[in-house]
Each structure stands twice: as C-alpha cells, then as structure tokens.
Amino acid sequence: MAPRRDSAGGGGEAVTGAGASRRGSGGTSPARERADRYWCEWALLDAGAGPAAEPGVLVEVSGGLITSVARGTRPPDGAERLRGLTVAGFADAHSHAFHRALRGRTGEDGGSFWTWRERMYEVAGRLDPDSYHRLARGVYAEMALAGITCVGEFHYLHHAPAGTPYSDPNAMGRALIAAAAEAGIRITLLDTCYLAGGLGTDGAYAPLEGIQVRFGDGGAEAWAERAAALRAAGAHARVGAAAHSVRAVPPADLARIARTAREAGWAAAHIHLSEQPAENAACLAAHGCTPAQLLDRTGFLAALRPTLVHATHLTSDDAALVRGTGAGVCLCPTTERDLADGLPELDRLAGAPLSLGSDGHSTVDMFEEARSAEAHERLRTGRRGTLPAHRLLEAVHTGGHAALGWAAAGDPPAGRIAPGARADLVSLAVDGVRMAGFDPRRAADALVWAATAADVRHVMAGGRWIVRDGVHALIPDAAARLDAAIREVAP
C-alpha cells in the first residue's frame, strides 16, 4: 500500500542541529528551500544508541539533509505517513558489480575459489564501457531496492581486452559512476592497483596473463597517474584507492601506493587480505611474514589505516596488528560462504572498525550479510552473541559509510536519522510473515534476525525517493534491464 498523507494533530519535541540548514553534499537531487515532512510509525534512529525503535517520529528534510527530528508525535497535517519501521540507508562497502553476472551459474560443478575465478575472468573479458554501464546500473538498482544508498565499488577492470587503454583511460570507471547516478545511489569508486598475476613461493611475481592484462597499469606510478585523472562526476561520487592484494601488488609498489594515497588525500583505501589460505602460505614462503605483516612492513597499514576486505585467515598476531593500527575490516559473509573461503575468527577482531559488503553478489541483502556474520561465528565457536545486533547494524550504517570516506570532518553524517545527517531513509513493512511479531523494543534484533531485502518498501537517498512501494522510481523496469545486461555478458 502506498504511503499516504494523514491529517491528524501534531506534537512532540523537535530536535534541530547546527548542521540542519546546510545543503547536502552527495545528495541526488537539487537542494530545496521548503522542508518535506515524514511521520514514521516507528524509527530506529541510531543503531549504536540501543536496540529500541522510537514511536511517532517526525522527520523533516530539506536540501538533501534531515533538518529536524521530533519523537513521540502524532502525524501532523501535511506530513507523509511511513508505516512500519524506518531506518537509515545502508552502505555496501565492497562490490564487484560485474560478478553479479555469475549468480546461479557457478555452483553446480564443485571446485574452489580458484576455479570460480576462471568463470569470473570470462565475464571480465566480455565487458566494454557500454555493457559495463548497463550491467552496473542494474546491479545498483537492485541495491537501491534492498535499501542500499551508498556503495563501495572495488574497481580493477580498467582497460580494453588486450590491455590497451581506452581513449579515455578511465572510461570503465566513469561508466560505474554514471550507473550509480542513474540508480540514485552514492558511490565510492575504489580505483584498484593490480600489477601481477600471482605470487610464487620463491618470491617471484607472475606477469599478468590473459584477461588479467585488462587490470594492469604497468606499475604503481602509472596507476596513480591514471587514477589521479579520474574526477568524480557529480556530488554523488568519491574516488578512493585500493591495492588488489599482496598477491597482485609487490611490496615496493604497496609502499608507493601508501605514499601516493596519503599525499593525494584519497577518500578511502581498501585491500583484499588473507582471503585464502594459499595467499598466506605464498606470502610466508616468499617474504617470511603473513600478508598483514607485509602491509605493516611496507607502511600501508600505518599510513592509510585501510579497510581490509575479508581478513578471513588472520593469525592472532595479525589481528592484534590490525586492532593496533586502527585498520578496519569489511566482511562479505555471503560471498565468503559461496566461495568456500572459510570462517574468520571474529572474536579476535573485537574493537576493529567493521563494515559489510555484498562482494560477488550471490545475494544483495545487507540484512543477510549482517545475519550471516554472526551466524557463521556461532557455527565456528558454538557460542552465541559475539556480534550483537546493534554492532552489525552499525557496520551497515555508520561503519560502512566511514569505510567509504563519507564521514570526513565537515561531512554531513550518514547512517543515522539525526538533524544535519544525510536524508537517507529506508522504510520496511513489519506486517508481513517474516516480521510478524515485531517488537519495537527489540527492533535491532528484528532487523538482523528476521528482515530481508524483500521487506523494503520505500528508499530515500539524499532527500529523493528512489524506491516507492518496492518499485525503483528511476528504473521501474530494473529487473528486465538487469536480466538483459547479464545475458549480454554471462558465460
């Protein structure tokens, strides 16, 4: 049922902030002077503040920002009523958009991460800027339908199939930025340095081969030069730096990236780390240390305090190193499960900044990512409650936005419903079978342990509604377009 405007008396105490009158940066619609008003039946304002939802919350929005929040109100005249539970928009901190073409196509024949990778390379070989734009637009629309308002795209598919740069060397990256704009979400394009085809136990780095040549720039300096020329088109986009992994970037180049990224002031820095036992074994044999220790030796950890994606096979010393440097960890549980990567020892990472990503898009559902992180830890340890619901929600709210560089000093906050924050709202139905029995006193638990992306009804990003009644407002035929884009490039 569509939201309706009700005319009942208002009340409650309004909360305003110094940033309430500021115009949003990173919104997806022009700033407007008048405020729009939304009355939420229930709202979880800040997952970190506690598990309970507030009743009767009146939210005013102007210029892409939340200008005031009033609790305990009745729906006033002119306010749009949002039934169910309203939360802040989600951040998906790790995405490879082109991997979406493999969903449902790679799981029947056994194998491992390494055999799956060959199928992934097939898709990578078929993409050009136009087809990548079509595919990514569909993927980002699917994200919007799931309540995701900001994505971190780990981007290494840079060049033409023979490794030759396009006339615009950043054509593929610009295609992703444009796709996010058309889907109505923000993006941090994590431009990724990828220089080698693998690491041998003798310390030799293999040259890029086959489709891998599309990923490489020839050296860290050439990567930095190309990436520096990439200017985000529009306030919805930021550019960050990434190194693919210690398998794909030699130590000297990791050190160069650390220096370059620190001096350039990139929005964020990410790297895949210890996803597979084979990576750890090769690094130990070649360099006499673990991948985490190699990042420390090269200055990558201390200089950038990066987000470490997966961190599945860390030693206890690695985990202590991560915690000590302030580096964050991005878990991608549904992909790690799909690829049989293994189970990280999350109790070792207590206190490290946490974010979550959908990675290879075996599903696009941040509720499932949050649920799986704790469920996997329960299976590993035989103990419940290592990651409580509020911390998991923080990972997809404030933690995810921070990992993607949307929480810098002077930025409007993202990931909570508060005066001055970005106007990202996700409205969920609580009257369906999954959320039946919803207890607003335990709203965080209900979101993590009961909700799915299918419960999302309406999504606002930067003050503009991009999903209404479960339909993408900008791409109403999103499913058909995504289907066509996948069939164009799928193996």
The H-or-E segment that residue 240 falls in is strand 237-243
Lookup: tokens for 83:
């039934």
Residues 322 and 305 sit within 8 Å (Cβ to Cβ):
no
d(CA 483, CA 485): 6
**3-class DSSP state for residue 130?**
helix
Pairing of strands 205-206, 198-199: antiparallel
CA dihedral (32, 37, 42, 47) positive or negative: positive
Catalytic hit among 296, 359, 365, 455: 359
Catalytic hit among 310, 397, 458, 472: 310
In 10 A of CB 159, how many CB atoms? 18
Q: Which of 474, 466, 407, 468 is nearest to 148 (CA)?
A: 466
d(CA 232, CA 219): 23
- Write b or e for each residue in 108-145: b if 16 or more Cβ atoms lie within 10 A of its Cβ, otherwise e: eeeeebeebeebbeebbebbebeebbbbbbbbbbbbbb
- Dihedral (Cα; 437, 438, 444, 445), 10-degree rounding: 0
In 10 A of CB 305, how many CB atoms? 16
In 10 A of CB 420, how many CB atoms? 19
d(CA 32, CA 63): 5
Please say if 424 is a catalytic residue. Answer: no
Residues 241 and 261 sit within 8 Å (Cβ to Cβ):
yes
Please say if 359 is a catalytic residue. Answer: yes
Residues 241 and 213 sit within 8 Å (Cβ to Cβ):
no
Pairing of strands 456-461, 205-206: unpaired
Q: Which of 313, 269, 278, 266 is nearest to 292 (CA)?
A: 313
Q: What positions carry a catalytic annotation? A: 310, 359
